Amino acid sequence: MKIMKVLIGLMIVFLVSACTIKNNEVPLGKYVLEDAEVTGMAWLVFSEENQFVFNRNMFTSYWPSGSYAIENGVLILIANENEVYTFKIEGDTLIFESGKHAEAFLEIGSRFTLVKDESSKK
């Protein structure tokens, strides 16, 4: 009986840690804005060494780029000290939370989903 309790406890710890890991990682690739009127209206690309490029709107010529970090399930994009964007991570979906340079183009809560098709990452 005691062994069974220990095994159940270990399983719970494993499941909780697996969920935590999922929200503290961003799969590399391209994320596109869900429910956009035009496909590719806004997107994010994550590459190796924690680098990103963010197209907030297809009608802008400036695409912020820089490095990113993850803290407690929150993705933090840093283009420069005055330009920071935050997203909540939910698996392969990123939910826009803040960033004064993007709020004119995106609503808080806008969802970006990882593109599974390799050909559309170009």
Give me the mean pLDDT over the 48-60 stretch.
Answer: 87
pLDDT score for 63: 87
Q: CA 5, 8, 10, 16 torsion: positive or negative?
A: negative
Q: Specify the pTM.
A: 0.70
Task: Say yes or no to pLDDT of 6 above 60.
Answer: no
Task: Say yes or no to pLDDT of 11 above 70.
Answer: no
Length of the chain, in residues: 122
pLDDT score for 90: 94
Q: Biggest alpha carbon distance in the chain?
A: 65
First to last CA, the chain: 56
Residues 75-116 pLDDT 10s: 999 999 999 999 999 999 999 998 877 766 788 899 999 997
Show me where the domains of the chain are located.
2-116
pLDDT score for 55: 85
Which of the pair, 33 or 103, is modelled with greater confidence?
33
**CATH code assigned to 2-116:** 2.40.128
Give me the mean pLDDT over the 9-34 stretch.
Answer: 62
CA distance 69 to 51: 9
- Residues facing 31 on adjacent strands: 44, 114
Which of the pair, 59 or 37, is modelled with greater confidence?
59
Task: Say yes or no to pLDDT of 122 above 50.
Answer: no
Cβ pair 112, 102 in contact under 8 A: no
Q: How far is CA 7 from CA 10, 11, 66, 114, in A?
A: 5, 6, 44, 35
DSSP codes of every residue in 6-25: HHHHHHHHHHHHHHHHHTT-
